[in-house]
Structure 1
Amino acid sequence: MIQKNIAIRDAENRDISSIMELICLKAEFDGCAESVQTTPEKLKDDLFGQKPLAFVLVAEIDRNLVGFATYHFTYSTFLAKPCIWLDDLYIKTEYRSKGIGEGLIQNLCKIAQLKGCGRIDWTVAAQNERGIKFYQRIGAKIIQKARLCRLDIEAISQNSYQ
C-alpha cells in the first residue's frame, strides 16, 4: 500500500542536490561510499543535458525527496525490443515499508509499457535479503545463473585499441 501523501515524478534540474544526497546514501548502504565520484555539475549535464544518459524518478513526501530510481534504456537482441536497466533504487531508511519502492517500480513499469519495453533488469546484492524479498513479492525473478561482469575505467583503457 502506497502512503497517501507521496508523489512520484520525473526528476527536475532543481532536484540535483537531493539526488546527490540520495546517491551518497545509496553508496553508503551498499558499503562503497568511497566510490561516489559524481558531482552536481556532472549530474546536471548527464541527466538534464541535450542528450540525457539516464533518467530519474523521485519520490517525495511534503516536497522532501525520500527516494529515487535511476534508469536508462538498453536493447535486447533476443526480444528485439528496448528494455530498461534500473541502476539504483533507494528509499531513505525511515521511509521504507511505506509503499514508496513499490510506487517507484509501478511508475517505471508504466514507462516501460509506454516505450514498448520487453523487460526491466537490475541487480541486487546477495546479502540484501529485504530487497530480494521485496523484488520477489512484486514478481521479479532472481536469476542465479547469471553473474555481473564489469570492466572498470582501468580495464577499459587496457583493452582498448590504440
Structure 2
Amino acid sequence: MKKTIAQVKDLHIKEATEEDIPIILQFIKELAEHEGLLHEVKANEDLLAEHLFGENPKARVIFGCVNDEPIAFALYFFNFSTFEGKPGVYLEDLYVKPSHRGKGVGTILLSYLAHLALQIGGGRLEWCVLTWNTKARAFYESIGAKPQDRIILNRVEGNKLMDLASTFRRLSVQD
C-alpha cells in the first residue's frame, strides 16, 4: 500500500537554527546507532555550531515536526553537476524516528529537498544509501530514485587524507 502525505497529520518542515544543535546531534547519534555505527560518530556540538551555523556554513538541516516536536531530520548541502552545468542538492543524512516511519515523513522531507533543488535552478537531488538497508532502498525506488550503478563512492579519510594533503604541500614547496 502506498503511503500518502495526508497520513502525517500536522507535519511541518522547520529549518534548523543554532539553538537546535543538541537536537541535531541527538538525531545524528540515533541514525548512527540505527546503522550500527555509533562508534564512528565524532561530531559534537562545537563542530556542528562551526560548520552548520558559523561564518561560512557548509551544510543545512531541516526537521520534520509534529506539534513543534522534531520527529525527523535531513542534513543537506549544495553541490554542482559539471555535465548539467547546474547546482543540485546532496542529502547527506535522512532519519525518521522509528515510531513515525511508514507514514510519509521521509517522502515529505525528500519532496521539500526536491522543491529546493528546483528553486535554486538545480537539476538533481542525490544521496547515498547503505547497501544492506533494503527497506530504505525499496522506499527510494518507490519514489522514483534510480540507483546509480555506474559510479562508486570513493573516500579518503584519516591518515590517508593527511598523506594525500602532504603530497600537495610537498609539491607546492618545490615550485
TM range (shorter): over 0.9
Shift of 1:16: 1.1
| Aligned residue pairs, count | 162
1:1-150 correspondence runs (5 A): 1-2=4-5, 3-150=8-155
Shift of 1:82: 0.7
Q: Deviations over 1:23-79 (max 9, x none)?
A: 001111122111111111211121112221001111111221111111111111111
Measure the CA separation in 1 of the matches of 2:20 and 2:67.
14
Measure the CA separation in 1 of the matches of 2:54 and 2:135.
35
Amino acid at match of 2:164: N
| Superposition CA RMSD, Å | 1.1
User: Larger Cα Rg: Structure 1 or Structure 2?
Assistant: 2
TM score, norm. by length of structure 1: 0.95
Q: Give unpaired runs (5+ residues) of structure 1.
A: none
Q: Aligned residues: percent identity?
A: 33
Measure the CA separation in 2 of the matches of 1:159 and 1:51.
25
Amino acid at match of 2:141: Q
Structure 1 moving runs of 4+ over 2 Å: none
TM score, norm. by length of structure 2: 0.88
